[in-house]
Every structure is written in structure tokens, then in C-alpha cells.
Amino acid sequence: MLGSTDLSDEAFVTQVESGELAAAAFRHADHLRLSYLYVRRYGAAQAESRIARTIESFARAHGATNKFHASVTHAWVRLVADRLRKNPSSLSFGEFLADAPELATSEVIRRHYSDELLRSEAARREVVAPDREPLPGQ
């Protein structure tokens, strides 16, 4: 589930930001971990722009620019920030994820976005509004 379990938070962020982390080690839970760490460090608004740049750069460093999805990245930051607002006492990412098990799969995104919209080039390139349920904070 988490491809970066052997890394401290600081080492994880450094390796993602520099592109040193192996692409195969950046899984769904790692995306959540980066969102969690950025929201805690920078606040939700700044985390959204920072994480988009970081993940897009990471994808580019690994020759996988087609993997970056602006709307999905935006949605995860919003969902993580919402959970942190509801329970700010999480001391670690592990505790946070244990408290928010619904975030462990991508199914929660489908409450907000249809598959059709997520597959669109527009949603991949730029943040588009959900076509189902609004994201927290929208």
C-alpha cells in the first residue's frame, strides 16, 4: 500500500521533490502521505498548488507526464485537508490513515467525479469541478 514506509517524512518529501524516489514506490497511499504532509506544513490552499507542481515534476522526472492528473491531485488534497480539519490531532500519517480508512482507496473520488469526467483530457490537464458531489471546501 505505502511504497515509502522505510523513509522518514522529511526523506520522503525530499525524494519526491527531487524525483529520486522510484516511480514504483509512489503509490496511492504515498500520494495521500504527500498531501497530508503538505497540508500540515503549508495549509490547504498553499498545499494544493505546491503538490500539483511537485507531482507534475515527479511524473516528468520519470518520463510519465501522462500519469499526472490535475483534478485527482486537487481532490486528494481537498479530502485530506477536510479530514485534518475534522481531526487535527493526528500525530503521524499512519494515525491519520487509520482514522480515515475511506481514503485508502480511490473510490471516494467517485463520490465526486464520474468516470467519464475523470477520463477527460480537460480533467487531466486542469482542475475541473466535480460533476457529482462538491468537494469539501468548494
Q: Is residue 115 part of a domain?
A: yes
User: What is the C-alpha to C-alpha distance for residues 58 and 61, in angstroms, rounded to an integer?
Assistant: 5
Q: Is residue 65 part of a domain?
A: yes
CA dihedral 117, 122, 126, 127 (to 10 degrees): -30
Q: Is residue 51 part of a domain?
A: yes
Provide the domain count of the chain.
1
Q: Is residue 75 part of a domain?
A: yes
pTM over cut 0.95: no
pLDDT at 138: 66
pLDDT at 116: 98
pLDDT at 87: 85
Task: Give pLDDT < 50 ranges for the chain.
Answer: none
- pLDDT tens-digit readout, 116-131: 999 999 999 999 999 9
Q: Is residue 130 part of a domain?
A: no
Residue 63: domain span: 9-125
pLDDT at 33: 96
pLDDT at 1: 65
